[in-house]
Amino acid sequence: MRNALLESGTLPLHTEFSIAGVRCAISTNSPAILAHLSRFTPVASGGEPGFRVSVLELAVGEDQSSDMHFRGMKHFVFALLGEGNRFVLDFRRRHAAGIVSCEAARDSKFWHRIFFPIVIGTLGATFGLIPLHCACLDSGGEGLLIAGNAGAGKSTLALALLDYGFTFASDEWTYLLARDGALTLHSLGAPAKLLPDASRSFPGLCQLDLHTAMNGELSYEVDVSTWLGVPQITQSSLSRTLFLRRVSRPGCRFTPCDEEFAFSFFEQSMERLPDELLDAKMQRTEIIRKMSSTKSWILETGESPEATAGAIADFYRRERL
């Protein structure tokens, strides 16, 4: 049996940084992995980390599959993240530990697009961070969440809103953090993911290559900073939520929705947690209850993303007055 020992002696390199507003302490044997963390905000060591990561760079063993595979039971989650990359996430200790191949250790995309989104999305419930399948934009320091079922057009609408003075944070995953009584929205700075039909709104997409996402979907990956020349922010404060519904009837209609609707929408979309994680489950429900009390509307639209974005901008102006 091949043995990988994760302990102080084998993981001599340490650093701490802030990701999605949460302190992470990482220990590793790999300078290459530490180098990928420079885009996160460094923090002085000494405080209690929200979660810890222990990762050993190790040459790939024989006959290792390249599957992405996830399973969970009690306070553990297993994550197989491609050839040679094996992790176990321990909810009781808020700890992600495992081994990575030399190739993954040197691959910035692995850490920023796969590892950290999965780890904070999975372990987040233990430290007050909730992954929301929502787009997030900012206007004057006020965060706008756009929720909706898959295929509702959140990503295209998010990019269309950039023409109306909104600043882009994320189009797919937004992380809600409850800390010191405040709710903040965080993005990991991931590129926007647009389905092929978004090229009707953004013809320039056709010049880009289509990528296959982890869920098998074909999409264009767009770095808004380089492609559109606009900034991408990573934090905002929760101010408003829109629940986007595509309908066949022309026009855009904004209907205020009550707290129970918002609560049910988000609570029912969350992964179920076992009783062993009762504290995390209760904390998550409390945070969702709190976020549900912010202003929210159901937006029914039968218009193009561009026209819908214009209607949101008008509505936003009137609503702020």
Return residues touching other proteins (CB under 8 A): 1-7, 54, 56, 61-65, 67, 69-78, 80, 86, 88, 90, 92-93, 95, 97-99, 268-274
Q: Scanning the structure block, which residue is given the tokens 């320091």?
A: 141
Q: Could you tell me which residues come within 8 angstroms of residue 176 by beta carbon, excluding any fewer than 6 positions away?
A: 129, 130, 131, 132, 183, 184, 185, 186, 238, 287, 291
Query: Smallest distance, Å, CB 96 to other proteins?
Result: 10
Query: Smallest distance, Å, CB 221 to other proteins?
Result: 23
Q: Could you tell me which residues come within 8 angstroms of residue 21 by beta carbon, excluding any fewer than 6 positions away?
A: 129, 175, 177, 179, 184, 186, 235
Query: Smallest distance, Å, CB 305 to other proteins?
Result: 27
Q: Which is nearer to other proteins, 1 or 44 (CB)?
A: 1
Answer whether 284's CB lies under 8 Å from 269's CB: no
Q: Which of 34, 9, 33, 16 is nearest to 101 (CA)?
A: 33
Tokens of 253: 């209609």
Q: Which is nearer to other proteins, 72 or 302 (CB)?
A: 72
Q: Which is nearer to other proteins, 7 or 209 (CB)?
A: 7
Query: Smallest distance, Å, CB 58 to other proteins?
Result: 8
Q: Which of 162, 180, 184 is nearest to 171 (CA)?
A: 162
Query: Smallest distance, Å, CB 36 to other proteins?
Result: 21
Q: Which is nearer to other proteins, 5 or 321 (CB)?
A: 5
Q: State which H helix or E strand residue 156 sits in.
A: helix 154-160
Q: Which is nearer to other proteins, 62 or 209 (CB)?
A: 62
Q: How many CB atoms neighbour CB 70 within 10 A?
A: 13
Q: Which is nearer to other proteins, 223 or 267 (CB)?
A: 267
Query: Smallest distance, Å, CB 72 to other proteins?
Result: 3
DSSP designation for 46: T
Q: Which is nearer to other proteins, 14 or 39 (CB)?
A: 14
Rounded-to-integer distance, Cα 269 and Cα 315, Å: 27
Q: Which is nearer to other proteins, 223 or 271 (CB)?
A: 271
Answer whether 236's CB lies under 8 Å from 143's CB: yes
Rounded-to-integer distance, Cα 165 and Cα 312, Å: 11
Beta strands 51-57 and 95-100 are parallel
Query: Smallest distance, Å, CB 68 to other proteins?
Result: 9
